[in-house]
Amino acid sequence: MTTEPVKPTRMELIRKREQIRLAEQGRDLLREKMDALVREFFRVMNEVSTSREGLELSARDADRSLLIAQAVDDPVALKSASFATKRRVVLDIDSRSIMGVPIPVIEKKSLALGVLERGYSIVGTSGRIDEVAEKFEVELDLIIGLAETETTLRRIGHEILMTRRRVNALEQVMIPELYRQTKYIKITIEEREREDLFRLKKVKRMLDRRKRQSRDAAAVTET
Amino acid sequence: MDQGYINARVRGMYRTLLGPDALRNLILVPDLDAMISELQKTPYREELETSCVRRSSVVCIEDALRRHLARVYSKILAMFDDQRESREARYVRIFLNRWDVHNLKTILRGKSIRSSPEEIREALVPAGTLDEATLVELLKQNDVRQVIDLLATWNIDYAKALTPNIDEWSRSGQLLVLEHALDRYYFQYARDAVRGRQPEAFALQELVGTEIDVTNLKTVITFIRDGIDLEDGERFLLEGGGELTTEVLSGMVSDGNLGKAGERLEGTRFISLRPLLTEAQNSGRFSPVMKELDWHLIRAGASLFRRDPLSITVVIGFLYRFLIEVTNIRIIARCRDAGLSDEELEAELIHV
Amino acid sequence: MYKFMVLTDPDTAAGFRMAGVDTWEAWNIEEARRMLPELMLEGDAGIIAVNEDFMQGLDERLMNRIERSARPIVIPIPGRSRKGGGMDYIERLLRRAIGYNVVLRR
C-alpha cells in the first residue's frame, strides 16, 4: 500500500475505523469462501482420482485389445481399417460456474455406428479390430469426463490461490497498515490536544499575570 | 509342370521353417534386439538386414516378416510360371488372393480419404498375385475411379468385380459397395477354382467350404452381438459353405442369442464352439470364440501338408504353415515388446 | 463443434484412430514438444489428449501455457510405460494446481 499522507483529524480517524471494519469483514468473507472452495476442491479431487483410476483400467484394457490385434492381425490390417472407419467424434463445449469459477461442460457428439455402417467390410476384418475400436471409444468417454473434472480441479485450485493471496494481502498488509494509521492519527490528535491544553494553560497564566500587574499599578496611582 | 519336383522343393522350404524348438528359443530371448540376432540365423536374415534402419525393433521385425512372406510366396507362385492356367496354379492363387483383396481395399480406402501414397503404401503387404510394381502404379492414381480404370486397362480380374459397381459407389458414396464386390469376387473365384472330381479338388473344396463357414460364423456372431436383424444382414452371408447352409446361419441370426444359436451347430464340426459361444453370450467377450474360428481354418489348411505327398495339397498346406510361422513370430515380437509374461504370450500363439 | 485430438506414440495412435478421433503420432518427447504448441493453435481444437510420457517432458513455459488455456483443454492420458499414473498423477496435479506438495495417504 502506498503511504499516502494521512490527515490526523477526527474525521479521518472515523473513516479509518470504518475502513478497518470493512477490511476485516472482507477478510472473513474471503476466508469463508476459501473454506468452501477447499471443501469443493477435495470433493472434485476425489472425483478426479476415481475417474483417473477408471481411465487407467480402461486404457489398459484398450491397449491389450490393440496389442492382440496388432500381434495376430498385423498392424497393417488396423491401419487399413482406420482408413475406412466412419466413426467421427466431435465435441460440444459449454461452460457453467461453481462459486464464480467458470468450468467446462463437454459433450461428446459421436456417430455410434453399427457394423453395417462402420465403413469397412464385415468380411475379412477380424472381430479383434472391431473390439479395438469399441474399447478405444470407451476410453474416449472417460478422457472427456476427466478433462472436465481435471479442468474444474485446476480452476478451483487457481481460485483458491487467488483468494488466499487476497486474504493475505488484507491480513498482512492492509489491515495492519490501517491499524498503524489509526494509531498514528490517535497519537497525533492526543499530542495536539495535550499541546493545546498546555498552550491554553500558558496563555491563561500570562493573562492572569497581566491582570494582576494592571491591578497593582492601579493601586499605586490611587495612593 | 512337375508336381513331384515342386513338392520336393516345397518340402525343402518346409524344412527351413522354425520348428517348436526354434520358436521356443525366440520366446526365451531377453529382448527384441536378441530376438533379431536370433532371427538372423534363419531365412529371415536377408529381410532383417535391409529393414533394420527403421525406428523401433518391433517395427523392424514386422517389416521384415512381411517382406519375407512376400518373397516366399512369390517364389512359390513362380514355380507355376509355365502353367499359369493349370488347376494347381489356380489353387495357389486362391490362397494368395487374400493379400490382393487386402491391398486393393487398402488402396481404395486410402484414396477415398485422400491419404498420401506413402501412407497407403505402409499398409500394403505385397504377398499376393499383384506384385509390388503393380501396387505402386495403382498408388500413383489420383482417386478411386482411376485405380479401378487402371485395373481394367491392365485386364486384371478384380476390375470385373469393381467396374459394375462404380455407379452404385459414386451414387451412394459408400466404399462398402466396392469392398463387398471384392469379397464376393474372392469367394466366387475360390469356389470356381476348386470345382472338379479329382481327389485334390475334393480336399480343396473342403477347405474353401471351411473358409466360407468360418467367415459366415464370424459374421453371424457379429450380427447377434450388435443386434442386427436378419433382414439387414442376410445379404452379407456367403453362399457355398461346407457344412453350414444359409438356412442354418439365418436361423442363428434369428435366435438373437449366441447360446441358443450354438445349438444349431449340432452335428457339424463346429459343435466344439458351443461352450465358447455360451461363454461369449454370458461374458460379452467375443475374442475367444473368434480366435477359435480363425484357428479352425488355419488348422484345416495346415493339415493339407500331410494329406497326399504327391499332390498340390502339399503346397497349399505349406502356405498355411508358413503363414502360421510368420504370425507366431509377430505375436512373440509384439508381446515381448509390450512386456507380456511368457504364459500370456504362449496363450496367443497358434499351434498346429 | 470442436475436435478431439490425440497426441501419442504410433502404436496407441492406431487404436485411437479406429475410434474416430484426430490422431497425431510422435516417436519421442522431442517430437511431441514440437507438435503440441502447433496443435494448440488449431482453432477448433477442443480437447488434446497427450500421452503421459510426453507430457512429463514438457518445459515449464509450455506447462504454464497449457494450464492457462481455456480451450483447448490439454489432458494427460496413460502412456504405455504406465509411469506417472495413480497417486503420482494426483500428487502432480495437486502440486501444479495449488502449489503445495500434498502427500496422500496410500
Q: What is the pLDDT of residues B234-260, one digit of tens each?
A: 888 999 999 999 999 999 999 989 999
- Percent of chain B surpassing pLDDT 90: 79
Q: Is residue A141 part of a domain?
A: yes
- C82 — alpha (psi -120 to 50), left (phi > 0) or beta? left
The set of cell numbers assigned to B79 is: 514355380
Q: Does C95 touch chain A (CB under 8 A)?
A: no
Chains that touch C (3 or more CB pairs under 8 A): A, B
Res C43: pLDDT: 87
Q: Is residue A5 part of a domain?
A: no
- Residue C27 and residue B55: Cβ atoms within 8 Å? yes
How many angstroms separate the CA atoms of B191 and B200, rounded? Answer: 14
Q: What are the C-alpha distances in Å from A22 to residues A7, A13, A27, A163, A178?
A: 20, 14, 9, 17, 11
Q: Which residue would you say has higher pLDDT here, A221 or A187?
A: A187
- A18-22, B227-231, B290-294, C21-25: least confidently modelled range: B227-231
**DSSP-assigned letter for residue A91:** E
Place of cell 472381430: A127
Using the predicted structure, report yes or no on whether residue C105 has a pLDDT greater than 60: no
Res C102: pLDDT: 63
A70 CA: distance to closest CA in chain C (Å): 9
Res B163: pLDDT: 97
Which residues does chain A have within 8 Å of residue B232's beta carbon, measured at their own beta carbons?
116
Please provide the average confidence, as pLDDT, over all residues in chain B.
92
Res B227: pLDDT: 87
How many angstroms separate the CA atoms of A84 and B292, rounded? Answer: 26
Q: Which one, of B195, B185, B160, B205, lies nearest residue B316 by Cα?
A: B205
Q: Does B338 touch chain C (CB under 8 A)?
A: yes
What kind and span of H or E run contains B210? helix B199-226
Q: Which one, of C81, C68, C79, C91, lies nearest residue C15 by Cα?
A: C79
The structural architecture, per CATH, of the domain B1-78+315-352 is Orthogonal Bundle (1.10)
The set of cell numbers assigned to B168 is: 452404385
Is C22 in contact with C5 (CB distance < 8 Å)? yes
Please provide the average confidence, as pLDDT, over all residues in chain C.
86
Res A121: pLDDT: 79
Which residues does chain A have within 8 Å of residue B66's beta carbon, measured at their own beta carbons?
74, 76
How many angstroms separate the CA atoms of B40 and B22, rounded? Answer: 12
The CATH T-level fold of domain B197-311 is V-type ATP synthase subunit C fold (1.20.1690)
Based on its alpha-carbon atoms, the radius of gyration of chain A, rounded to whole angstroms, reads: 39
Res A113: pLDDT: 63
How many angstroms separate the CA atoms of B215 and B208, rounded? Answer: 11
Q: Is residue A204 part of a domain?
A: no
B259 CA: distance to closest CA in chain C (Å): 29
Q: Predicted confidence band at B43 (pLDDT cuts at 50, 70, 90)? A: very high
Res B225: pLDDT: 87
**DSSP-assigned letter for residue A173:** I
Q: Is residue A26 part of a domain?
A: yes
Give me the total of CB pairs closer than 8 Å, taking one residue from chain A and one from chain B. 108
Nearest chain C Cα to B55, which residue?
C27
The set of cell numbers assigned to B345 is: 504370450
Res B253: pLDDT: 93
How many angstroms separate the CA atoms of A60 and A62, rounded? Answer: 5
Using the predicted structure, report yes or no on whether residue B30 has a pLDDT greater than 70: yes
In tens, the pLDDT along A107-127 reads 988 766 666 677 787 777 778
- Residue C98 and residue A91: Cβ atoms within 8 Å? no
How many angstroms separate the CA atoms of A205 and B303, rounded? Answer: 135
Using the predicted structure, report yes or no on whether residue B160 has a pLDDT greater than 90: yes
Nearest chain C Cα to A53, which residue?
C86
- Residue B338 and residue C80: Cβ atoms within 8 Å? yes
Is B145 in contact with B151 (CB distance < 8 Å)? no
Which residues does chain C have within 8 Å of residue A125's beta carbon, measured at their own beta carbons?
none
Q: Predicted confidence band at C79 (pLDDT cuts at 50, 70, 90)? A: confident
- Residue A106 and residue C85: Cβ atoms within 8 Å? no
C84 CA: distance to closest CA in chain B (Å): 17
Complex prediction ipTM: 0.90
What single letter denotes the amino acid at residue C29? I
Using the predicted structure, report yes or no on whether residue A219 has a pLDDT greater than 80: no
CATH number of the domain within which A132 lies: 1.10.287.3240
Write out the residue range of the structural domain in which residue A164 sits: 10-180
* Helices and strands (DSSP H and E) totals, chain C: 5, 4
The CATH T-level fold of domain C3-79 is Rossmann fold (3.40.50)
Chains that touch A (3 or more CB pairs under 8 A): B, C
Q: Does C97 touch chain A (CB under 8 A)?
A: yes
The set of cell numbers assigned to A11 is: 474525521
In tens, the pLDDT along B300-329 reads 999 999 998 899 999 999 999 999 999 999
Q: Does C98 touch chain A (CB under 8 A)?
A: yes
Is B183 in contact with B167 (CB distance < 8 Å)? no
Q: How many CB atoms lie within 10 A of CB B279?
A: 16
Which residues does chain B have within 8 Å of residue C80's beta carbon, measured at their own beta carbons?
338
Res C84: pLDDT: 58
Using the predicted structure, report yes or no on whether residue C99 has a pLDDT greater than 80: no
Res C80: pLDDT: 74
In tens, the pLDDT along B5-22 reads 999 999 999 999 998 889
Q: Predicted confidence band at A198 (pLDDT cuts at 50, 70, 90)? A: very high
- A50-64, A106-120, B89-103, C31-45: least confidently modelled range: A106-120
Burial of B50 (0-12, 13-18, 19+ CB in 10 A): exposed
Res C103: pLDDT: 60
Which residues does chain C have within 8 Å of residue B56's beta carbon, measured at their own beta carbons?
27
C35 CA: distance to closest CA in chain A (Å): 20
The set of cell numbers assigned to A71 is: 500381434
What kind and span of H or E run contains A90? strand A89-98
Nearest chain C Cα to B58, which residue?
C11
Using the predicted structure, report yes or no on whether residue C54 has a pLDDT greater than 60: yes
Using the predicted structure, report yes or no on whether residue A2 has a pLDDT greater than 60: no
pLDDT (mean) for B218-229: 89
The structural architecture, per CATH, of the domain B86-193 is Up-down Bundle (1.20)
The set of cell numbers assigned to A146 is: 476427466
Q: Where are the domains of chain C?
A: 3-79
How many angstroms separate the CA atoms of A30 and A20, rounded? Answer: 15
How many angstroms separate the CA atoms of B133 and B119, rounded? Answer: 16
Q: How many domains are contained in chain A?
A: 1
A94 bridge partner residues: A105
> Pairing mode, if any, of strands C2-8 and A89-98?
antiparallel
- Residue B287 and residue A123: Cβ atoms within 8 Å? no
Interface probe for A, chosen from B65, B101, B106, B219 (most Cβ of A below 10 Å), is: B106
B351 CA: distance to closest CA in chain A (Å): 13
How many angstroms separate the CA atoms of A26 and C48, rounded? Answer: 40
Please provide the average confidence, as pLDDT, over all residues in chain A.
89
How many angstroms separate the CA atoms of B350 and B293, rounded? Answer: 12
**What is chain C's length?**
106
How many angstroms separate the CA atoms of B217 and B189, rounded? Answer: 20
The set of cell numbers assigned to A15 is: 473513516
